[in-house]
C-alpha cells in the first residue's frame, strides 16, 4: 500500500511566485545533467546571488533564500543520483553510497541550518510555520526524517495561523504516524483532515484513514470509509485514487465479513471485475471458508470467461489450483488442471504460466505419490485407486503441458504404477518414457533409472514369454542406444546378444555383437565367441545365405579368427551348400546336382575355396555322367584356385577321380589328373602320393607310351619322394604288363640299365625261360648274347639246362644197339651185348633222372620224351635180330626169350609214358614244348596233318549280355 | 564346430572296388539295367566299329560299374580291337567287381571273365595259363558252352583226345548241330581212324558251312581215308579263302596233293 504524499506540493506552494523556475525545474528533472539543469541552477544561483548582494536583510528574504537552498538540494541530488546510477558497482562498493551524495548532503545540512537559524533569529516571524513545515519536508526527503514529527508539530504551533499549512502539517503528521504504525494517532489527525470534504485529496485521506482502521481491526469502520472513499473517487478530482481503492477494498469486505457484498461491489463497479474478484477470493481464503472462497473464484472465473479474458482465466484457474491443493480438493484440482491443459491446447500459454501450472501439478502429484502407499512393506499393497488414477492423470497433464519433460513424467507414472504393483502399467509407462527419450534424444540421469525400473518391473510382471522377451529386448536395446559406452554397457551388450540368440534372432544378435565390437574393440575374445555362436546357429539351421555372408567377412580378417576356424567354417559352408546337391546326386539327379554346383561356382558371394570345391564337385558329377572330357575341364578349373594346403588334404578323393577316368577308358585324363597333383606337391608328403605315381606309369604303359618315355616318367616322378617299395612294385607291375603282352623287345628296352628287384628278376627270368623253350634253337644265339648283358637274369642257367638236355639227347642218339652177327650164333657174345645194352639203358635212365632232379618242367618233359627212344631202339634191334646157324627149335626158344625182353622194354616205354602224364598232372603241365612250333616247319605226312588244331583259332569268348536266361 | 572336410569331398567317387557313393550295398538286380546296350556295343565291336562299341559302353559306366558283365564287354571290345593289354585290364576290373556282385549269375560272370583272360594267354601261347583259366571258368560254371568248347580245343591241340572226346560228346548232346563241335569230333574220330564215324558226324553239317577251310579239310581227309577219292577231291575244292583260317592252308594243300596223287594213281590204274 502506498500512500499519496502532499509534501512535494508544499514545495511548489512555497515557490509559487517563481513560475518560470517551476516550469524549468520540471524540465530539469528529466534532464539532470543537461543544459536545462545548468540553466535552472544558474537561475537559482543568480537569485541567491542577487538576494545576498542586497543590502536589505530581513526574515522574508532569508526565507526566500531558504526556499532557494532547499530547491538547490533537489537539483544537486538529482545530478548526484544520475552519476550514482551510472557508476561502476565496484566503485560504489569501494567508495560507499554516501561518497556520491556528498554535495547534496552538504547542501541539505547548510539549508537546514540556515532555516533553523531563521526561526531562531526571528521567533516571531509570521511564516515560521511554513519554514518548520519546509524543514520537516527536507528532513523527510533528504535527511533521516527523524526530526520530521518535531518539525511538523512546531509548524502547527509557530507563526501566524495558516489553515493550509496546518492542514498540510496534519496530513504530514497522519502519514508520519501511519508509517510509524501508530494508526490510532494517525487517525486523530485524519479525523481533522477529513473535516474538509471539499479538499481535493479528500478521497485519498478517506482511503488512508480506512487503512488505519483496518489495521486497528475496526473492520466495519474501515469498510465504511473505503466505500466512501470509492464514492468520492468518482468525483473528477479524486479519480487517481479509484484504482487503488478497487484493488484494496476486497480485503475490507472480507474483513468485515461482507465478501458476498464485495462480489456484488466488484461486479457493479469494476470492469473487468474478475481481477478484483480474484483478489477478493485471495483475501477470502484467510477466512478459511472454502465454499465462500470457491464461489468467489468461480464467479471470477465465469466473469473472466464472459470477458473473454484468457489470461485472466488462466490466472484464476492457477489460483484455484493452489486453493484446491490447500484444501485437498484433488478432484477439483484435477478438473481445473485439465481445463488448464485444454486452454493451453487452444491458446499456447506463456512459458511463465506453463511453468506455474506445472509446478502446482507437480507439487500435488508428488505429494500424492509419496502418500499413495502407506506401508510399502506390506505383502499386499493397499492404496487408494482413485488417487492412483489421479496421479497418473496429473502426470499425463504434465506431459501434455511440459513437453520438454514428457519422458520424466512417464517415468513418474511408471514409478507410481510400480509402487502399487501395477507392473503391466508400469512397463507401459517406462516404455513410453524410453520411447520419448529415444525420440527427443534428451538423455537425463532419469533415463538409466527408467530402464533399470523397466527391467525390474518386467521381472515382477506375469507376462507371456513373448511379451517378456519383447520388453526386455526393448529395455536392453534402448540402454545401449542411450549408453553405448558406460560402466554397465559391456554386460548389457552380452545380455542383449544372448536374448536375441536365445530367440533365434540371429541377425539382430550379430548386429549387437558388431556394435559391441565397435564400442569395445578390446573385448575381441567375447566378440569372437558371439560370432562363433551365431555361425554355429546358421550352420544348425542351414542358413546358407547368412553363413555365406559371415564366412566371407571372417575370411577377410574380421576379428582375426584363427585360420583353422575360418577354414573349418568354409568347409562347413561348403558342406551345407553341397548338401542339397549331394542328395540330388544320391537320387541320381545328376544334371540338377551339377546345375546346383554350377550356381555355387558362378556366384560371386562364396569364398574361392568353396567355388573350387564346387568346380571339383562338377568334375565329379560329370564323371558320374560318364563324361570324362568335361570332368577334366572342371577339374582344371577347380585346381586353378584351390588353396594348396586344402587341395593336398583332398588327394585321396582326387585319386578316386583319377581312377574314375580310367574306368571311363580315358587313361590320358586319369594320367593328367595324377600328374597335376604329383607335380604340384612333388616335394611334400600327402595321402595317395604313391598311388598317383602308380596311375601315371601304369596308365602310360597301358596307353602304349614308348618305353623311352615311360623311363622318363619314372625318372621324373620317382624324385617326388615316392617310397622305394612303390617304385619297386611299379617296376614289377610294368614288367608284368610287358610280359603278359609278350612285349619282348620293349621288355629289354625297359630293363636296360635298370637294377631289378628280386621279384622282377624272377619274373623276367621265367618269361625268358618260357620264351626260350618256345623256340630253343631259334633263341639260343640271342640268349647267349643276353647272358653277358643281363647277368642278373641268370639266362645262363636256361642255356646250360638246354645244353645239358641237348648233350643228353645227343648221347641218347649216339647210342647204337647193334648185335654182332656171325655165321654161327654166339649166344655168349649176344648175351654179353644185350647185358651191355641194358646197362646203357639203365645208365641213360639214371642220367635222365639225375638231370631231371634240378631241371625245369620243359627239360623234364623233353627228357620224358627222349628216354623212351633208346628203349624203343633196343627193342627194335632185339626184335629185328635173327641168330644165324641155329636150328629151328633154338630159334623158336630164342625168339620166345627175346619177346619177353621186348615186352618188358615196351612195358617200360608205356611206364615212361604214364609217368610223363602223371608228371604233367602233378605239375599242371599239360602242353608240351614241341607243340608250340607251327605246323609245316618240317616235312609232314598225311597223318600228321591231323595233329594241327590251333586252339586259339577255334576258341570263343564268353559274351554275356546280362539278359536273363 | 566339427570340421567336415572329408565329408565335403567324399563326393561319390568311383573306386576300384566299385562301392557306391552312398555306401549302400549293391543291389542284386542292379545288373540288368542295360543288357541291350551291352549286346549292342558288343555287336558294334564285332563289326569292327570299336569306337562306337566302346563309347556306347562308356555312357553306361556309372550305371554298370558294379556289373562284371559290363567290364567283360569292354574287355571283349578291346580284345577284338587287338588291344589285349587294356582288355586284360578291364577283365581284371570285372574280376574285382565280383567282390560285391551278388547277382544270381555271379559265377557265370566270373567264368566268362576267366575264360576271356584265358584267351589272352592263348594268344601268347601260354597254354598252361589258358588251361588254368578255362578249368577255373568251368569249375565256376560247368555248363558254359564256350568254356567247355575252348578246353576241348586245347585238348585237341595237344592231343589229349580222350579228354577232348568226353567234353565234345557232352556238347554234342547239348548242341547237336553246332558246327565246331561236329568238326572237332570228326577230327577226333579221324585221329582214331574211325573215318566212317567221322563222315557220319560231318554229314550233320550244313552244306554251306563245308566251305570253311578247316571243315573242308577234315571232311576231305575222312573221305580220302574212306576211299571216296573223288568226293574227297570235290570237298577240298569247296574250301574258300578265309583269312582267319589261313593256318589251314598248308594242311589243306598237303591234303589236296595227296588226293591229287591218289586220283592220278587211280587214273593210271584205269589205264
Q: ipTM of the predicted structure?
A: 0.85
Determine contact, residues A303/A272, Cβ cutoff 8 Å: yes
Considering only CB atoms, B245 lies closest to which of A621, A628, A953, namely: A953
Q: What are phi and psi of A373, to 5 degrees?
A: -105, 120
- pLDDT in the model for residue A927: 62
What residues in B contact A934, CB-CB < 8 Å?
A: 247
The nearest CA of chain A is from the CA of B271 a distance in Å of 26
Helix (H/G/I), strand (E/B), else coil: A373: strand
Is B62 close to A932, i.e. CB distance below 8 A? no
Sorted by sequence, the CB contacts under 8 Å of residue A865 that are 6+ apart come out as A916, A928, A930
Considering only CB atoms, A575 lies closest to which of B8, B72, B258, namely: B8
B63 pLDDT band, cuts 50/70/90, is confident
Is B67 close to A962, i.e. CB distance below 8 A? yes
Q: What is the dihedral of CA A479, A484, A487, A489, to 10 degrees?
A: 60
Asked if residue A674 has pLDDT above 60, the reply is yes
Determine contact, residues B65/B18, Cβ cutoff 8 Å: yes
What residues in A contact B157, CB-CB < 8 Å?
A: 927, 931, 949-951
Residue of A nearest to B92 (CA): A663
What residues in B contact A961, CB-CB < 8 Å?
A: 35-36, 38-39, 42, 69, 73
What residues in A contact B15, CB-CB < 8 Å?
A: 656, 659
Considering only CB atoms, B3 lies closest to which of A568, A737, A963, namely: A568
Is B1 close to A568, i.e. CB distance below 8 A? yes
Is A701 close to B85, i.e. CB distance below 8 A? yes
Considering only CB atoms, A961 lies closest to which of B16, B35, B250, namely: B35
Facing residues of A373 across strands?
A383
Distance in angstroms (rounded) separating the CA atoms of residues A151 and A448? 72
Residue of A nearest to B108 (CA): A960
What residues in B contact A701, CB-CB < 8 Å?
A: 85
- Helix segments in A194-235, DSSP class H: 202-215, 219-233
Is A958 close to B116, i.e. CB distance below 8 A? yes
Over residues A769-776, mean pLDDT: 87
Q: SS3 letters for A782-799?
A: HHHHHHHHCHHHCHHHHH
What residues in A contact B265, CB-CB < 8 Å?
A: none
What residues in B contact A763, CB-CB < 8 Å?
A: none
- pLDDT in the model for residue A243: 84
- pLDDT in the model for residue A5: 39
Determine contact, residues A76/A103, Cβ cutoff 8 Å: yes
Considering only CB atoms, A649 lies closest to which of B5, B34, B60, namely: B5
**pLDDT tens-digit readout, A483-503:** 999 999 999 999 999 999 999
Is B150 close to A951, i.e. CB distance below 8 A? yes
Chains A, B: CB contacts within 8 A come to 233
What residues in B contact A659, CB-CB < 8 Å?
A: 13-16
What residues in A contact B125, CB-CB < 8 Å?
A: 774, 932
- For A90, A593, B42, B212, the CA distances from A596, given in Å and listed in that order, are 91, 5, 36, 60
Q: What are phi and psi of B15, to 5 degrees?
A: -115, 170
Helix (H/G/I), strand (E/B), else coil: A605: coil
**pLDDT tens-digit readout, B125-156:** 888 899 999 999 999 999 899 999 999 999 99
Is B254 close to A942, i.e. CB distance below 8 A? yes
Distance in angstroms (rounded) separating the CA atoms of residues A85 and A79? 10
Sorted by sequence, the CB contacts under 8 Å of residue A102 that are 6+ apart come out as A80
Sorted by sequence, the CB contacts under 8 Å of residue A742 that are 6+ apart come out as B124
Distance in angstroms (rounded) separating the CA atoms of residues A341 and A397? 7
Asked if residue A571 has pLDDT above 80, the reply is no
Q: What is the dihedral of CA A770, A775, A778, A784, to 10 degrees?
A: 30
What residues in A contact B147, CB-CB < 8 Å?
A: 958
Q: What are phi and psi of A13, to 5 degrees?
A: -65, -40
- For chain A, give the percent of residues with pLDDT over 90: 51
**pLDDT tens-digit readout, A626-663:** 999 999 999 999 999 888 888 888 899 999 999 999 99
Q: Residue with C-alpha cell 583259332?
A: A953
What residues in A contact B187, CB-CB < 8 Å?
A: 946, 949
A32 pLDDT band, cuts 50/70/90, is low
**pLDDT tens-digit readout, A85-104:** 888 888 888 888 888 898 99
- Helix segments in A681-826, DSSP class H: 689-702, 707-718, 724-740, 744-751, 758-774, 776-789, 795-814
- For A951, B181, B195, B196, the CA distances from B212, given in Å and listed in that order, are 16, 14, 20, 21
**pLDDT tens-digit readout, A824-879:** 888 889 999 999 999 999 999 999 999 988 888 888 888 888 899 999 999 999 99
**pLDDT tens-digit readout, A160-192:** 788 888 898 999 899 889 988 999 999 999 998
Residue of B nearest to A926 (CA): B128
Q: Dihedral sign, CA of A196, A202, A208, A210?
A: positive
Facing residues of A383 across strands?
A373
- pLDDT in the model for residue A493: 95
Whether the upstream peptide bond of residue A272 has omega within 30° of 0, thus cis, is yes
Chain B interface mutation, best of A576, A958, A965, highest count of B Cβ atoms under 10 Å: A958
Asked if residue B8 has pLDDT above 50, the reply is no
Chain A interface mutation, best of B2, B4, B5, B115, highest count of A Cβ atoms under 10 Å: B5
Supply A797's cell numbers. Answer: 642257367
The nearest CA of chain A is from the CA of B265 a distance in Å of 16
Supply A205's cell numbers. Answer: 485521506
**pTM of whole model > 0.80?**
no
Is A927 close to B247, i.e. CB distance below 8 A? no
Nearest to residue A234, comparing CAs of A203, A264, A209, A265? Answer: A203
A294-300 LR contacts (CB < 8 Å, sep 24+): A294/A323, A294/A332, A296/A259, A296/A263, A297/A323, A299/A263, A299/A267, A300/A273, A300/A274
Amino acid at each position: 500500500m502506498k500512500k499519496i504524499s502532499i509534501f512535494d506540493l508544499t514545495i511548489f506552494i512555497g515557490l509559487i511566485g517563481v513560475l518560470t523556475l517551476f516550469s524549468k525545474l520540471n524540465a530539469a528533472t528529466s534532464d539532470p545533467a543537461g543544459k536545462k539543469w545548468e540553466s535552472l541552477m544558474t537561475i537559482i544561483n543568480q537569485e541567491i546571488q542577487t538576494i545576498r548582494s542586497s543590502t536589505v536583510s530581513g526574515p522574508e528574504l532569508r526565507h526566500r533564500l531558504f526556499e532557494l537552498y532547499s530547491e538547490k538540494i533537489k537539483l544537486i541530488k538529482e545530478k548526484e543520483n544520475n552519476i550514482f546510477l551510472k557508476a561502476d558497482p565496484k566503485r560504489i562498493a569501494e567508495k560507499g553510497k554516501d561518497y556520491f551524495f556528498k554535495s547534496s548532503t552538504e547542501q541539505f545540512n547548510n539549508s537546514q541550518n540556515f532555516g533553523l537559524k531563521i526561526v531562531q533569529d526571528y521567533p516571531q516571524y509570521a511564516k515560521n510555520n511554513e519554514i518548520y513545515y519546509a524543514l520537516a519536508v527536507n528532513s523527510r526527503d533528504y535527511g533521516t526524517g527523524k526530526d520530521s514529527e518535531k518539525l511538523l508539530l512546531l509548524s502547527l504551533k509557530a507563526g501566524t495561523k495558516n489553515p493550509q499549512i496546518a492542514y498540510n502539517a496534519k496530513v504530514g503528521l497522519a502519514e508520519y504516524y501511519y508509517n510509524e504504525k501508530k494508526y490510532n494517532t494517525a487517525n486523530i489527525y485524519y479525523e481533522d483532515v477529513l473535516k474538509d470534504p471539499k479538499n481535493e485529496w479528500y478521497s485519498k485521506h478517506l482511503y488512508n484513514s480506512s487503512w488505519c482502521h483496518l489495521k486497528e481491526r475496526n473492520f466495519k469502520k474501515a469498510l465504511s470509509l473505503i466505500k466512501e472513499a470509492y464514492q468520492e473517487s468518482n468525483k473528477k478530482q479524486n479519480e487517481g485514487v479509484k484504482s487503488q481503492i478497487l484493488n484494496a477494498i476486497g480485503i475490507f469486505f472480507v474483513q468485515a465479513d461482507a465478501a458476498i457484498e464485495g462480489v456484488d461491489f466488484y461486479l457493479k463497479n469494476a470492469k473487468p471485475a474478475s481481477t478484483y474478484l480474484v483478489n477478493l477470493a485471495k483475501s477470502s481464503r484467510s477466512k478459511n471458508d472454502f465454499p465462500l472462497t470457491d464461489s468467489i473464484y468461480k464467479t471470477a472465473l465465469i466473469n473472466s470467461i464472459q470477458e473473454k479474458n484468457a489470461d485472466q482465466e488462466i490466472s484464476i484457474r492457477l489460483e484455484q489450483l493452489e486453493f484446491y491443493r490447500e484444501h485437498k480438493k484433488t478432484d477439483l484440482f484435477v478438473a481445473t488442471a485439465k481445463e488448464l491443459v485444454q486452454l493451453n491446447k487452444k491458446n499456447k500459454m506463456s512459458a511463465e504460466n506453463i511453468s506455474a501450472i506445472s509446478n502446482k501439478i507437480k507439487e500435488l502429484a508428488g505429494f500424492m505419490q509419496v502418500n499413495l502407499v502407506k506401508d510399502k512393506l506390506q505383502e499386499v499393497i493397499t492404496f487408494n485407486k482413485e488417487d492412483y488414477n489421479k496421479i497418473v492423470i496429473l502426470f499425463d497433464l504434465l506431459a501434455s503441458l511440459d513437453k520438454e519433460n514428457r519422458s520424466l513424467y512417464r517415468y513418474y507414472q511408471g514409478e507410481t504404477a510400480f509402487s502399487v504393483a501395477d507392473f503391466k502399467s508400469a512397463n507401459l509407462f517406462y516404455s513410453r518414457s524410453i520411447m520419448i527419450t529415444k525420440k527427443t534424444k534428451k538423455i537425463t540421469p532419469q533415463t538409466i533409472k527408467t530402464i533399470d525400473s523397466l527391467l525390474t518391473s518386467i521381472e515382477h510382471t506375469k507376462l507371456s514369454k513373448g511379451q517378456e522377451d519383447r520388453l526386455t529386448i526393448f529395455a536392453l536395446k534402448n540402454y545401449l542406444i542411450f549408453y553405448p559406452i558406460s560402466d554397465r554397457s559391456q554386460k548389457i551388450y552380452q545380455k542383449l546378444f544372448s536374448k536375441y540368440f536365445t530367440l533365434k534372432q540371429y541377425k539382430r544378435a550379430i548386429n549387437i555383437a558388431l556394435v559391441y565390437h565397435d564400442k569395445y574393440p578390446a573385448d575381441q575374445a567375447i566378440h569372437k565367441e558371439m560370432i562363433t555362436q551365431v555361425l554355429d546357429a546358421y550352420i544348425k539351421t542351414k542358413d546358407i545365405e547368412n553363413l555365406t555372408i559371415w564366412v566371407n567377412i571372417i575370411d577377410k580378417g574380421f576379428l582375426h579368427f584363427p585360420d583353422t576356424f575360418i577354414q573349418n567354417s568354409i568347409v562347413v559352408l561348403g558342406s551345407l551348400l553341397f548338401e542339397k546337391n549331394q542328395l540330388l546326386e544320391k537320387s541320381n539327379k545328376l544334371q540338377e546336382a551339377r546345375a546346383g554346383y554350377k550356381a555355387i561356382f558362378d556366384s560371386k558371394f562364396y569364398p574361392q575355396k568353396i567355388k573350387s570345391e564346387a568346380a571339383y564337385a562338377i568334375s565329379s558329377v560329370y564323371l558320374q555322367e560318364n563324361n570324362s572330357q568335361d570332368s577334366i575341364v572342371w577339374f582344371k578349373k577347380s585346381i586353378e584356385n584351390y588353396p594348396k594346403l586344402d587341395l593336398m588334404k583332398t588327394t585321396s578323393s582326387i585319386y578316386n577321380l583319377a581312377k574314375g577316368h580310367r574306368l571311363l577308358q580315358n587313361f590320358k585324363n586319369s594320367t593328367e589328373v595324377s600328374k597335376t597333383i604329383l607335380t604340384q606337391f612333388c616335394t611334400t608328403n600327402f595321402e595317395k602320393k604313391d598311388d598317383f605315381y602308380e596311375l601315371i606309369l601304369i596308365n602310360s604303359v597301358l596307353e602304349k607310351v614308348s618305353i623311352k618315355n615311360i623311363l622318363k616318367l619314372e625318372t621324373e616322378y620317382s624324385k617326388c619322394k615316392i617310397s622305394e617299395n612303390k617304385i619297386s612294385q611299379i617296376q614289377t607291375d610294368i614288367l608284368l604288363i610287358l610280359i603278359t603282352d609278350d612285349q619282348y623287345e620293349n621288355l629289354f628296352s625297359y630293363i636296360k640299365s635298370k637294377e631289378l628287384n628280386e621279384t622282377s628278376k624272377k619274373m623276367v627270368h621265367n618269361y625268358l625261360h618260357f620264351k626260350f623253350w618256345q623256340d630253343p634253337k631259334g633263341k639260343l644265339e640271342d640268349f647267349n648274347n643276353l647272358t653277358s648283358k643281363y647277368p642278373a637274369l641268370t639266362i645262363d642257367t636256361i642255356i646250360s639246362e638246354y645244353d645239358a638236355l641237348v648233350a643228353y639227347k645227343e648221347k641218347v642218339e649216339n647210342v647204337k644197339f647193334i648185335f654182332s652177327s656171325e655165321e654161327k650164333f654166339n649166344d655168349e657174345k649176344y648175351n654179353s651185348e644185350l647185358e651191355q645194352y641194358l646197362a646203357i639203358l639203365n645208365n641213360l635212365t639214371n642220367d635222365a633222372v639225375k638231370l631231371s632232379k634240378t631241371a625245369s618242367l620243359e627239360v623234364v618233359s623233353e627228357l620224358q620224351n627222349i628216354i623212351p627212344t633208346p628203349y624203343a631202339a633196343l627193342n627194335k634191334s632185339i626184335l629185328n635180330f635173327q641168330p644165324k646157324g641155329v636150328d629151328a627149335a633154338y630159334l623158336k626158344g630164342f625168339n620166345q626169350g627175346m619177346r619177353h625182353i621186348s615186352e618188358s622194354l615196351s612195358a617200360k616205354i608205356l611206364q615212361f609214358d604214364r609217368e610223363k602224364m602223371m608228371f604233367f598232372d602233378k605239375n599242371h603241365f599239360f602242353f608240351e614244348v614241341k607243340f608250340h612250333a607251327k605246323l609245316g616247319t618240317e616235312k609232314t605226312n598225311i597223318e600228321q596233318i591231323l595233329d594241327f588244331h590251333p586252339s586259339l583259332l577255334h576258341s570263343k569268348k564268353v559274351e554275356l549280355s546280362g539278359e536273363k536266361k | 564346430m566339427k570340421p567336415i572336410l572329408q565329408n565335403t569331398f567324399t563326393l561319390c567317387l568311383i573306386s576300384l572296388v566299385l562301392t557306391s557313393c552312398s555306401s549302400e550295398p549293391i543291389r542284386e538286380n542292379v545288373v540288368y539295367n542295360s543288357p541291350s546296350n551291352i549286346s549292342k556295343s558288343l555287336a558294334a565291336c564285332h563289326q569292327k566299329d570299336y569306337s562306337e562299341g566302346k563309347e556306347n559302353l562308356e555312357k553306361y559306366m556309372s550305371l554298370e560299374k558294379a556289373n562284371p558283365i559290363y567290364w567283360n564287354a569292354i574287355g571283349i571290345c578291346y580284345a577284338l580291337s587287338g588291344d589285349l593289354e587294356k582288355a586284360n585290364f578291364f577283365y581284371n576290373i570285372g574280376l574285382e567287381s565280383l567282390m560285391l556282385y551278388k547277382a544270381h549269375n555271379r559265377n557265370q560272370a566270373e567264368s566268362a571273365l576267366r575264360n576271356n583272360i584265358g584267351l589272352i594267354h592263348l594268344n601268347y601261347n601260354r597254354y598252361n595259363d589258358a588251361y588254368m583259366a578255362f578249368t577255373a571258368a568251368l569249375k565256376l560254371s560247368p555248363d558254359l558252352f564256350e568254356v567247355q568248347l575252348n578246353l576241348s580245343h586245347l585238348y585237341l591241340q595237344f592231343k589229349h583226345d580222350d579228354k577232348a572226346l568226353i567234353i565234345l560228346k557232352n556238347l554234342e548232346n547239348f548242341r547237336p548241330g553246332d558246327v565246331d563241335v561236329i568238326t572237332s569230333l570228326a577230327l577226333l574220330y579221324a585221329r582214331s581212324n574211325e573215318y566212317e564215324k567221322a563222315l557220319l558226324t560231318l554229314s550233320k553239317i550244313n552244306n554251306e558251312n563245308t566251305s570253311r577251310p578247316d571243315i573242308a579239310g577234315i571232311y576231305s581227309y575222312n573221305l580220302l581215308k574212306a576211299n571216296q577219292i573223288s568226293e574227297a577231291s570235290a570237298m577240298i575244292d569247296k574250301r574258300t579263302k578265309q583269312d582267319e583260317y589261313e593256318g589251314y592252308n598248308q594242311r589243306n594243300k598237303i591234303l589236296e596233293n595227296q588226293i591229287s596223287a591218289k586220283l592220278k594213281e587211280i587214273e593210271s590204274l584205269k589205264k
